[in-house]
Chains A and B, each alone.
Chain A
């Protein structure tokens, strides 16, 4: 959607950049949709997180295409993609890499683990032991790896797309709150519609659609676009709005645990990326409103009263959003 050409002073260049973001995002979206159909919402959040340089948690029952989504995202962007299948016996060094002794040069040489990639696909992250989860999550937050006393930065863009089964499935360790907090957003893929499922039979019957997916952009472009996203304007009223929204999760009687200050930062960044994806160089309440559930819900802990009434965190957040007045005119 284009908003026309009404913009002033410094907005001119920004507007052109925003249009580039829209174009690139449209290409990526088109590419992924050849693999996964009928999930525009999930794709929207995934692209938002990519541009906001956050990490994405995909939570759903097995077999609905979590991994396929992550793989397609990785392939659509021409960048390094690594996949780690988390199992209970996976060790931290299996992720970060180890220093091995080089016989010829007679010295230890660092053999980088799968974390050294632009997009890291952590499959079934909640099957690993907490120790291994912690190693991954440290990398996510610091965007660097410390092995043998040496700190190695990770290359931008760096995005972890983790999938997990719902916590009550067999053989899973629930992700602690502190680690859930490091993911910018959580989405559920959900079952496809009957029509999408029919189409899937056809497309998957002949060949794997993933094979035919060609990259439509590259890491360099993504990095530049992510820089542009940081310039999206956040009006003072919008800052206040975001803070009020996050704060309302802390004061809500239905929640035992509210959102952290990191959630505020994540929400601002995600809203910026979302606005850019919509072709705007400023965020509006609609950006925040549409992202509030994916960005906030997985960080919250509903209280006993809410659990008794079968109130999910998603519904509580939606209620809070529906009650909070949008910033008034200046």
Chain B
């Protein structure tokens, strides 16, 4: 059994292959698992006792092995766990955690990642060995494998390939087979297989398998489940912040990809503005590039940055600019997991939102350290200032920027730099360089695809995207343009959030998961951070993305002001504290308020949402229906019982079903009077026999049934109906209350009637 458990877990290793880049990441895990198995086998062979000690021994041996494997150069003689070596192991472990948390899969197989994988698998093997060999319930190992399988499912949107899954399933099945075989050997008796037994077994197995698959596919659709987003954000997180103010959030690019790949396009939020062309809604700003991924520099959640009055002025804000202040009211959909980073139009001047929120002054990200609530409503005030292409063209070198947004990792592929130079070498103007870069991406050479082909192992994903397949989605476009802009000397960063979404009319817009987006923001002295759009838009690209007019270069003409977000305040009949609005209540909401919240559950009733909102009626009916479903078997059973009042044979069938319901058993080989005798002898928990009346009724019913079945001719006695009622009322007295309840709610007789093996000469119920 230990060997079978080992094989089973070895077969589960490929499950992680899509998550780790590089070779040899599996070998330490294999070494640890084989060692632990050897410990188990030796102990079991030599001691011959139940292996309760095995997990302890295995843990000790695995712990000793980790040092030479991962800190051999620090350990005395390469083996002994000295303090420095142990410390090194812990350091490697925490580095691995960081790599996994910060990067998006597949992660590079650093020693830390390999250590984590090896330790996890060692723990899994020790558990599996205990379950399979000591506790002798190898089926439970399936739970471990499921946990392993869930990892790639949760972390990576692509799911598990057929090949690793098949290997894993093979491992599990061989574990079960070995267990059966071992049990058979221990039992020592060959179970005879009847003729045609193999076929029958195959049939039964096939039926069971098909039923399991059908149920597994059908049931989750029928029952209300966990919200997947909530599950995801529990499953992983990115640590942002310092020391005590740690903020955990899903990696922005991972959640972006997940939203874009979601099967159904769900509403994320609705907002109301009067602008003709509202701008994008930003959530995150990623400003650090490690050569593969863009990540967020730590944000600070201290009292200084608490959102109270106005937000700090964004960097590069032209102080003398004429300001037009507008309000935008945003309602997050209550079906979407709460957002810890608010989607805000740029540039937000103040945010009115309940709860404790902080702002990152440089990027104007607004975030919370608390568990964000779902269905949040908030009002954001933005300053509207058109971006003028001429102003951008005249911008000089960035001077007022606090951080350096031009840094790039040293090991960046030189090909990227060459490409950037070839594209931007013709001009010194940062603006024209930026236009040239965007033109490079949108000229038609690039293909938009949410499922870009896999990057071959070993090659740089950025170079691969730019020069080889030129296929990707907003993440690649935005990331690549930001890198190239930095190479061209323009401060740049990646913003992640949503496009403006789809217009509903009447100044209202709706944003769905399909509108999730990432785009580069470039800094120009005097204009501040300006959005560019390298991702193809329209039907073959990111559907709702828009190219700002200033970014195409045509904006050097005198006009064409960029319509930045111009959200407006609605008619002044709405209180600003909209987050305190209750959930839609039937018929009570005035039109404007109903609009704010109804995106939560149902599509809008009409453009204005006028008239009483009756959308709750079917929902309520469905709820009542769902509540009534558990009572359905009891109702059917009661109908069946009524239909069998006093007809010959039917009374006996009713007695049979009552016995089956109560778990009293029903033996087809038992004659009526034997059955009556058996039931009459029943006693309840306190050894109190059935009432005399019930016993007499049982006897009379049995004799009547006997006459009906076997006598040449008989007259059905009308008193049988009375007897039956007496029995049905009295018989449940011998079972416990729990059994009675189950018999009422889930009467077994509805699906589990005793049936004769040999065909009856006269079928039942004739």
Q: Do A and B come from one complex?
A: yes
**Interface residues in B599-658 (C-beta closer than 8 Å to A):** 648-649, 652-653
Flag whether A65 is at the interface (Cβ < 8 A): no
- Is A328 in contact with B671, judged by CB distance below 8 angstroms? no
Chain B residue nearest to A320 (CB atoms) is B669
Residues of A within 8 A of B673 (CB): 284, 286
- The verdict on A321 contacting B669 (CB below 8 Å), with A6-B715, A235-B711 known, is yes
In the complex, are the beta carbons of B710 and A235 less than 8 A apart?
A: yes
CB-contact partner of A9 in B648, B706, B713, under 8 A: B713
Partner of A282, one of B674, B710, B762, B764: B710
CB distance from B15 to the nearest CB of A (A): 48
Contact (Cβ within 8 A) A284 B706: yes
Q: Check A325–B671 contact: CB distance below 8 A.
A: no
Q: Which of B35-43, B305-313, B513-521, B752-760 contacts A (4 or more CB under 8 A)?
A: B752-760
CB distance from A33 to the nearest CB of B (A): 24
Q: Within 8 Å of chain B (Cβ to Cβ): is A149?
A: no
Please give me the residue from chain A that is nearest to B765 by CB atom: A329
In the complex, A150 has a CB within 8 A of chain B: no
| Chain A interface, DSSP helix/strand/loop, else mixed | loop
Measured in the bound complex, the distance between the Cα atoms of B149 and A79 in whole Å is 89
Interface residues on B, range: 20 to 34
Across the interface, which residues of A come within 8 angstroms of B671, CB to CB? 284-286, 289, 326
* Neighbouring B residues of A281 by C-beta, 8 Å: 711-712
Do A330 and B669 touch across chains, with their CB atoms under 8 A apart?
no
A289: chain B residues at CB < 8 Å are: 671, 674
Cα A58 to Cα B717 in complex, Å, equals 43
How far, in Å, is A189 (CB) from chain B's closest CB? 26
Partner of B758, one of A11, A233, A244, A329: A244
Contact A237:B649 (CB < 8 A) given known A7-B714, A11-B712, A284-B706: no
Inter-chain contacts of A282 with B (CB < 8 A): 707, 710-712
Instruction: Tell me whether A238 and B710 are in contact in the complex, defined as CB-CB below 8 angstroms, given that A286-B671, A325-B758, A328-B760 are known contacts.
Output: yes
A310 at the interface (CB under 8 A from B): no
**Is A205 an interface residue, CB under 8 A from the partner?**
no
- Inside 8 A of A326's CB, which chain B residues have their CB? 668-672
Interface of B is mostly: loop
At the interface, yes or no: A10 with Cβ under 8 Å from chain B? yes
Most buried by B among A244, A280, A284: A284
Do residues B652 and A325 form an inter-chain contact, with CB atoms below 8 A?
Answer: no
Distance to closest chain A CB from B712 (angstroms) = 4
- Closest chain A residue to B710, Cβ basis: A235
B709 contacts A by Cβ under 8 Å: yes
Q: Which residue, B708, B758, B764, has most C-beta atoms of chain A within 10 A?
A: B758
Q: In the docked arrangement, what's the CA distance between A47 and B532, Å? A: 110
Asked if B762 and A323 sit within 8 Å, CB to CB, the answer is no
CB neighbours of A7 from chain B (8 A): 711, 713-715
Per-residue B-contact encoding for A275-302, CB less than 8 Å = 1, 0 else:
0000011111110010000000000000
Chain A proximity of B448: nearest CB distance (Å): 70
Cβ of B179 < 8 Å from any Cβ of A? no
Residues from chain A with a CB closer than 8 A to the CB of B670 are 326
Partner of A6, one of B714, B758, B760: B714
| CB-defined contacts of B653 to chain A, threshold 8 Å | 329
Q: Which of chain A's residues have a CB closer than 8 A to the CB of B60? A: none
Q: Evaluate contact between B715 and A324: CB separation under 8 angstroms.
A: no
Provide the residues of chain A in CB contact with B706, threshold 8 Å: 284
Q: Which of A8, A325, A327 has the most CB of B within 10 A?
A: A325
CA A11 to CA B715, docked complex, whole Å:
12
CB within 8 A of B669: which of A6, A236, A284, A323? A323
Residues of A within 8 A of B712 (CB): 8, 10-11, 233, 235, 281-282
* A238 contact set on B, CB distance < 8 A: 710
A322 interfacial by beta-carbon distance below 8 Å: yes
The answer to whether B761 touches A240, judged by C-beta atoms less than 8 angstroms apart, is yes
User: Does B766 touch A at the CB level, under 8 Å?
Assistant: yes
> Is B419 an interface residue, CB under 8 A from the partner?
no
In the bound complex, residues from chain A placing their C-beta under 8 Å from that of B760 are 325, 327-328
- Assembly CA distance A326 to B667 (angstroms): 9
Of A8, A10, A327, which contacts B710 at CB under 8 A? A327
A325 touches B713 (CB 8 A): no
Q: A286 contacts B713, CB within 8 Å?
A: no
How close is B85's CB to chain A, nearest CB, in angstroms?
65
Further 15 A-B residue pairs, CB within 8 A, beyond A284-B710, A324-B669? A3-B707, A7-B713, A10-B712, A11-B713, A237-B762, A244-B758, A282-B712, A283-B710, A284-B671, A284-B672, A289-B671, A325-B668, A325-B669, A329-B648, A329-B708
A-B contact pairs, 9 of them (CB 8 A): A8-B712, A9-B713, A10-B712, A235-B710, A238-B710, A282-B711, A327-B710, A329-B649, A329-B764
